Amino acid sequence: MAKPDGRLTHDLDPRDRPPRDACGVFGVWSPGEDVAKLAYFGLHALQHRGQESAGIAVSDGRRIVVHKEMGLVAQVFDEPSLTALHGDIAVAHCRYSTTGASVWANAQPTFRSTPAVSIALGHNGNLTNTRELAAMLGPGNGYGTMAATSDTDVLTELFVRGPARPGGVEEAAARILPLVKGAYSLVFMDENTLYAARDPQGFRPLVLGQLAAGWVVASETAALDIVGATFVREVRPGELISLDERGVRSRIFALAAPKVCLFEYVYLARPDTTIGGRGLHATRVQIGRTLAREHPAAADLVIPVPESGTPAAIGYAEASGIPYGQGLVKNSYVGRTFIQPSQTIRQRGIKLKLNPLRDVIAGKRIVVVDDSIVRGNTQQAIVAMLREAGALQVHVRIASPPVKWPCFYGIDFATRDELIAGSCSVAEICKAIGADSLGYVSLDGLVAATEQPAGSLCRACFDGQYPVPVPDSDQGKTVLETAASR
């Protein structure tokens, strides 16, 4: 990761992006409402969870129509495309690729149809036994040789074949879900019913909300807020729910063994979302307070890396007594770019998104708070930028423990070789990013801030203890590389 002189091997490598969650899912059952527009607003609230593709499927009781494209929600949908989606049920999805390439064929919701039933499905997470599930589809339909090119495709195919037996989609899902391993928060529908399901570990969040005349399921409570739905409860780990004119039906298909992703609390979910009864803004402020106690610094100003480091920076300033200020300005209009810049431009590329306030920073000892360090190139660039702006000292504080292990449950973390903490000590990382000091919040301190029992949280990216077994041969790979090797 680092050269002999301590510099990182890549200057702002374009792959050095924040950790990405696989997707956001949203579903609504509400006869008489414009469900396509409700889904559109719900996806806007979940855009941070996936920015490669977006899609909405709507059923009018007779057929399902799907509209999906590559791009952001506002790029994929406009007034005419939403107006064309008529019905009482909608399933919506925004995606980052973890299994399957970033191409239109893998955009969701996925859709399958037989003479008996049609199904549209959105999936947040990543399955770990896709090959075994694909084998259930019969000879010649193995993963990679059938039309399915992602774990979600395989699952959709299994669900749509199930209704050939008695009981319809609900019974098919109840039979198949106990066989599925890995992380999945699912929102799916047939022509008449909306369904939601969550894996027995509950890795990824999924919540149920109520409208004046209907129901909503979504990845985060923030999406309920934006469509005017009242939070009812979280979908329980190991639970399948069905929503239609008969109301809400619930069945448990597997015993719950909760392992909610700890990184949801650190970064992935919006700060205005609630998980486990605790608002994430409050959690992140508390992480900052803990960080200040564990890693104090003699400094003049605490600044965040906006916006992911802001709540923790507020907490750090509160606990330390050091003034809080804005030292970096974020360009809110910068999204993903497909331009391949020259090396000179790449080295300056961080300023496309962040620029320092020189009159605030010059002559001061700065504590800069961020949510995590993945490869370290971004932090190296930020430290250099602050020094160029006149900072006397730069002390980096991180609101999560060192990320040492890849994730196999829906976060697109790098391989272990690419994770700077996978091969470097804190002192080596500090030297590599050019900081005067570096401090990470402890794992115990992070867990305490969530106010959740330690045993109910997945901490695998920090401690390498995977709740759902992953082959040793896969543990140095990304989710995508693991899927490709199956």
Domain boundaries along the sequence of the chain: 23-258, 279-331+343-453
Residue carrying the six token digits 């990013």: 433
Residue environment code for 64-89, b if the CB has 16+ CB neighbours within 10 A, otherwise e: bbbbbebbbbeebbeeeebeebebbb
Lowest mean pLDDT across 245-249, 381-385, 418-422: 418-422
Q: Is the model's pLDDT at 260 over the cut of 60?
A: yes
| 105 — pLDDT class (breaks 50, 70, 90) | low
The closest of 193, 190, 117, 181 to 154, measured between CA atoms, is 181
What's the pLDDT at 345?
A: 53
What's the pLDDT at 2?
A: 39
Q: Is the model's pLDDT at 142 over the cut of 70?
A: no
Q: Is the model's pLDDT at 211 over the cut of 80?
A: yes
Higher-confidence residue of 375 and 394: namely 394
Pairing relation of β-strands 214-218 and 230-234? unpaired
One-letter amino acid of 324: Y
* Residue 418, SS3 per DSSP: coil
Q: Is the model's pLDDT at 421 over the cut of 50?
A: yes
Dihedral sign computed on CA atoms, order 235, 239, 245, 246: negative
Q: Is the model's pLDDT at 326 over the cut of 90?
A: yes
* Residue 177, SS3 per DSSP: helix
> pLDDT tens digit string along 381-399?
999 999 999 999 999 999 9
Q: Is the model's pLDDT at 346 over the cut of 90?
A: no
The structural architecture, per CATH, of the domain 279-331+343-453 is 3-Layer(aba) Sandwich (3.40)
Share of the chain above pLDDT 70, in %: 83
Mean pLDDT score across all residues of the chain: 87
Q: Is the model's pLDDT at 55 over the cut of 70?
A: yes
Q: Which CATH number is correct for 23-258, 3.40.50.300, 1.20.20.10, 3.40.50.720, 3.60.20.10?
A: 3.60.20.10
What's the pLDDT at 139?
A: 64
Q: Is the model's pLDDT at 482 over the cut of 60?
A: no
Mean pLDDT of 138-151: 55
> pLDDT tens digit string along 271-294?
999 999 999 999 999 999 999 999
Residue environment code for 460-470, b if the CB has 16+ CB neighbours within 10 A, otherwise e: bbbeeebbbeb
- Give residue 431's Cα distance to chain centre: 30
What's the pLDDT at 416?
A: 84
Q: Is the model's pLDDT at 20 over the cut of 90?
A: no
Mean pLDDT of 89-116: 78
Pairing relation of β-strands 260-261 and 457-458? parallel
Lowest mean pLDDT across 37-46, 121-130, 297-306: 121-130
Q: Is the model's pLDDT at 343 over the cut of 50?
A: no
Q: Is the model's pLDDT at 354 over the cut of 50?
A: yes
The closest of 253, 258, 207 to 234, measured between CA atoms, is 207
CB proximity list for 48: less than 8 A, separation 6 or greater: 24, 270
| 485 — pLDDT class (breaks 50, 70, 90) | very low
Q: Is the model's pLDDT at 377 over the cut of 60?
A: yes
Mean pLDDT of 260-269: 94
CB atoms near residue 414 (< 10 Å): 20
What's the pLDDT at 307?
A: 87
User: Matching CATH topology for 23-258 and 279-331+343-453?
Assistant: no
Q: Which of 23, 407, 430, 458 is catalytic?
A: 23
What's the pLDDT at 247?
A: 94
Active site residue 23: yes
What's the pLDDT at 418?
A: 82
Mean pLDDT of 215-242: 98
Contact between 208 and 226 under an 8 Å Cβ cutoff? The reply is no
Q: Is the model's pLDDT at 350 over the cut of 80?
A: no
The closest of 331, 319, 411, 313 to 367, measured between CA atoms, is 313
| 484 — pLDDT class (breaks 50, 70, 90) | very low
How far is Cα 349 from Cα 12, in angstroms, rounded to an integer? 7
- Cα 376–378–384 angle (5° rounding)? 105
How far is Cα 455 from Cα 259, in angstroms, rounded to an integer? 7
Alpha helices, DSSP H, located in 279-425: 280-294, 310-320, 343-347, 358-361, 377-388, 420-423
What's the pLDDT at 451?
A: 96
Q: Is the model's pLDDT at 155 over the cut of 70?
A: yes
* Residue 208, SS3 per DSSP: strand
